[in-house]
Structure 1
Amino acid sequence: MKATNMRTLTISLTPHQASMLENAVESGGYASNSEIVRDALRLWEQREEVRQMELARLKKAYDEGMASGEGRSVTADTLLAELKAEARKRG
């Protein structure tokens, strides 16, 4: 990334977080604190993307369930018997 594309922000860290950053730079794992923060943000972006995909999957499953028709009341014993019968059919 070009330096002209960078934006400077001020962030607050706990002493432990600041120490972790310093140690990572001093040990050579990262070139700078900024590099660590950018790496952490990339991981956060990936996690958020996965979270959005999971929410979309759950919404789709919910919508499909709602569109599948009226539900029914069933006791735990009846449900268990039905599941066992289904498992026997599959082998």
Structure 2
Amino acid sequence: MQRFVDDDTGYLEWVRRHPDGFVVNTSRNPSPSYLRLHRGDCATITGNPARGVRWTADYVKFCGDRGELELWARTEVGGDLQPCPLCL
């Protein structure tokens, strides 16, 4: 699992190389109330940001396989991942 904070270049490279991977979008201090799970190729987390100009500034990204992200959410944050309604 990789964490991207203030690193749009690294994040966009990761999703380019791992289109079948998964991404959790969450606040800078992850909270059980917002742990949005996306497929790596979801249009809502790639390309141009819908809000602002950066992907990893206000929100951070945790990237990896689904199982490790689900385990991280439960054990480290104490919450469940909320699937993106557009890609999952």
**Relative contact order, CA 8 A, sep 6+: which one is greater?**
2
Per the normalisation by structure 2, the TM-score is 0.22
| Structure with a larger share of its residues in helix | 1
Q: Report the TM-score when normalising by structure 1.
A: 0.21
Report the structure, 1 or 2, having the larger strand content. 2
